Structure 1
Amino acid sequence: MTRYGFHASHEQISPRQLLADVQHAERAGFQMAMCSDHFSPWSQRQGHSAFAWSWLGAALATTDLTFGAVSAPGQRYHPAVIAQAIGTLGTMFPGRFWVALGSGEAGNEHITGDRWPAKEVRTRRLEECVDVIRRLLEGEEVSHDGLVTVDRARLWDVPDPRPRLVGPAVSLASASRVAAWSEGMVTVNQPLEDLRKRVDAYREAGGAGPLALQVHLAWAPTEQEAEQIAHEQWRSNVFSEPIPWDLETPEAFDAVSEDVTVEKVRTVVDISSDLGRHCERLAEYASLDFDEIYLHHVGQSQERFLDAFGEHVIPQLKEG
């Protein structure tokens, strides 16, 4: 049966408020949560981007939810440092944490001043990092000399069980490629047929483990307000690759999204004032065999969304 969770958007909400929001989500009936690990937001209008790893410790300690995080080792983070962060949360909160490891975006990684590699190089660097991280989490001493360098690293607190290493995938090619190493896949809402193809590509390439979906949505009591929320907060996120990979600053994202329409935002955000329509759409996603669906209301205020979906949507989905 599909489980439903809350996506905590560090790019849009201050860490103190976001901690209160995830606690509210648990009280409202959400079963789990996830977040992404950004250094910068996608837009100046979003205006936040706290350190996810500090927040995760507080969130895990003050709720009983399971948590996932999407992070990118290799440039901003050395893989041994990420392994230590994963291992620490896994040791403190056994069985309650997983991490999706991606190749990153320049908007977060350019801060090191290092050259931003081509996509294929970033993907190979990620695969090296995954191998290093997995070996460290299994208690090995690791040395490695490649696109990343590791010298006699060892974790002194090894988590049991080891947190799952999940593959984030948006394209068909990435869904097939992460299948070689991942223990589950997470993707984002797209047209149903496109999502079906990504699920099939992952499974046909040998991918195992749970399937997770992050759904960007906007709800408000009126359609006009729901559209306004989505357009104001998420119009910088409508672009296909390589734009989201390669732009370096929120100002750049704001510049390229200046003329984006509400209709364009609707292609990436499920916008409706009708809770029944949201429920139908989420049930359609669940029918594609997603084990976990994380709801991301793209507004900066979460209270009305959490109460409305907790009372009227989540219970109906669980019954279905």
Structure 2
Amino acid sequence: MPPGRTGRQVSHRGRHCMVDNARLYTAPEAPLPILVSGFGPKAAELAGRIGDGFVSMTPDAELVAAFRRSGGAGKKVVGGVKVCWSSDREKAVDVVHRLWPTELLPGELAQILPTPAHFEQASELVTREMVAKAVTCGDEVEEHVETVRAYARAGFDEVYVGQIGPDQEMFFDAYRELILPALRR
């Protein structure tokens, strides 16, 4: 059994990463699937060749097709999206702008910033208007349903929806009582 699945402490110096003194305290009985996250066609193709699945935060059918063509046929495609459920849409936009502006950083900026201070500085590039346009905020059921359906239309197998902000219970209640039943129709 590889040392990473024994519960022993492991260090690794590889071509792409280094790990010092890692330990998996609850070792799985079988190998865990490796899902590869990607934001462009090259990453999707690589995920199809080497991964057990593909993860993307954009409901892009072309990325899913590139993944499937490159060896991902029959493998899982998982999406993730952040929303802010609230009875007050303007308040929800403010919450997202305050707590999660990094969601809208341009290009690869979020992948290369080295420290939290750099993220704070770069977040100043994100305007409230950008948040209002890009993130599903408020309590309009059809907007939330459409946000999730976009992933289904693009060929995703699973979609994980995360609430930005403190109203977690209200979010779960709304999705259980309103959004999921609407998606099933």
TM-score (norm 1): 0.48
CA contact (8 A) 2:36 2:55 kept: yes
Q: Indicate if the aligned counterparts of 2:47 and 2:53 stay in contact, CA closer than 8 A.
A: no
Q: How far is 1:230 from its partner?
A: 1.2
1:203 maps to which of 62, 68, 87: 68
Partner of 2:39: 170
Matched residue SS, 1:85: coil
User: Given the alignment, which residue of 214, 228, 235 partners 2:94?
Assistant: 228
- The separation in 2 between residues aligned to 1:240 and 1:174, in whole angstroms, is 18
| Residues 178, 266 of structure 1: alpha-carbon distance in 2 compared, 3 angstrom cutoff | farther
Tell me, in whole angstroms, the C-alpha distance in 1 between the residues paired with 2:134 and 2:97.
11
Q: CA deviation at 1:268?
A: 4.6
Alignment deviations for residues 21-66 of structure 1 (CA, whole Å, 9 cap, x no partner): xxxxxxxxxxxxxxxxxxxxxxxxxxxxxxxxxxxxxxxxxxxxxx
Runs of 4+ in 1 over 2 A off after TM superposition: 84-87, 265-273
Partner residue, 2:78? 212
1:248 equivalent in structure 2: 114
Change beyond 3 A, Cα 1:251–1:270? same
CA distance in 2, matches of 1:199, 1:174: 11
Q: Which of these residues, 128, 141, 149, is aligned with residue 283 of structure 1?
A: 149
Give the RMSD, CA atoms, in angstroms.
Answer: 2.3
Aligned counterpart in structure 2 of residue 85 of structure 1, from 18, 24, 27: 24
How much identity, in percent, do the aligned residues show? 25
How many residues are paired up?
Answer: 169
Structure 1 CA distance for aligned equivalents of residues 134 and 180 of structure 2: 22
Write the distance in 2 (CA, Å) between the matches of 1:266 and 1:86. 42
Distance verdict in 2 for CA 1:283–1:185, change over 3 Å: same
* Structure 1 residue 266: Cα displacement: 4.2
Is the Cα–Cα contact under 8 Å of residues 226 and 273 in structure 1 kept in the other structure?
Answer: no
| 2:165 counterpart of 1:299 | yes
Partner of 2:97, secondary structure, is helix
Moved more, 264-273 or 276-285: 264-273
Normalization by structure 2: what TM-score? Answer: 0.80
**In structure 2, how many angstroms separate the alpha carbons of the residues matched to 1:247 and 1:288?**
30
Q: Indicate the SS of the match to 1:197.
A: helix
CA offsets 1:161-211 (integer angstroms, 9 cap, x no match)? x3211111112221111221111111103xx5xx11111111111224111
Shift in Å, 1:305 = 0.7
Q: What is the rounded CA distance, in whole Å, between the counterparts of 2:39 and 2:133 in structure 1?
A: 15
Unaligned segments of structure 1, at least 5 residues: 1-72, 91-158
Equivalent pair of 2:105/2:126 in contact (CA under 8 Å): no
